[in-house]
Amino acid sequence: MIRISLISLSLISISAIFELTCVQRQQALENLTTVSPDKTFSVEMKEQIRNDGGRDLILKVMRSNETLVPEFVYDHGRSFDAAFMRSHPKHDWISNSVLWFGSTNTPADHKDNVIVVSKSRSPITFLTVNNHADSFLILDLHTGAKIVLRAEPQTDMRADISGFSCFALLMDGTTRTGGANFDIRGRYKGPAHYNIAVTDSGIDVTSDEFESIK
């Protein structure tokens, strides 16, 4: 089973650590399947309790009734309060290949704009994009493709820092990770614009308005 272990997004750091390993699970708590609007993709979700009491969200992705991504840990929750399905109770397909998880209903014209571009030589099997409130699962992204996401606004009324963390599994079997935090204190004037590029060397995250924090 593929395992993606995330460090929880926080106001201080939205970086992430990912590892691929085999894991054993205990009790399954919830099972749910969602199907893309054009019926191409289906995502099976189940939440399970680990031996240490933490809760993992496990996903499996099918494409046209064939396995695209075998079971993998999408989120590694450390407790009940940190369980992914508790903090992201809603999900919706925002296109035929992008699944959104979150908790809010912010109007689209108030959301931040995030442009995702695939610049890697190998197509992308799946890409995850996460901020403090949203999690996007992007499937089957071909080289040169571009997707525009509408993300929950990360305003300076909420925090002094905005940021994204990302993970990609490519069709050649390699992975990419990347993320960035930005200084938004006193600078957020309306919907912000971010850019995420998956390249052969990693994932670059930039902003049109804000400087990244090194």
- Per-residue pLDDT tens digits for 10-41: 322 333 333 333 344 444 456 899 999 999 99
Angle of CA points 91, 8, 202, to nearest 5°: 85
Q: What angle do CA 179, 15, 35 make, to 5 degrees?
A: 70
Of 149, 147, 148, 143, whose CA–CA distance to 199 is shortest? 143
pTM of the predicted model, to two decimals?
A: 0.85
Residue 212 to residue 214: CA distance in whole angstroms: 6
Mean of all residue pLDDT scores within the chain: 86
Residue with the bigger pLDDT between 81 and 195: it is: 195
Residue ranges covered by each domain of the chain: 2-207
The residue among 143, 152, 47, 46 whose CA lies nearest residue 94 is 152
- Band of the pLDDT at 3, cuts 50, 70, 90? low
Q: What are phi and psi of 38, to 5 degrees?
A: -90, 5
By three-state DSSP, how is residue 85 classified? helix
Q: Which residue has the higher pLDDT, 86 or 129?
A: 129
Bridge pairing between strands 55-63 and 41-49: antiparallel
CA distance 34 to 122: 27
Residue 16, pLDDT score: 36
Residue 165: predicted pLDDT: 96
Among 15, 195, 203, 32, CA closest to 124: 203
For the stretch 70-115, pLDDT in tens is 999 999 876 655 578 888 889 999 999 999 999 987 888 899 999 9
Specify the CATH architecture of the domain 2-207: Sandwich (2.60)
Answer whether residue 47 shows pLDDT above 50: yes
8: pLDDT strictly greater than 60:
no
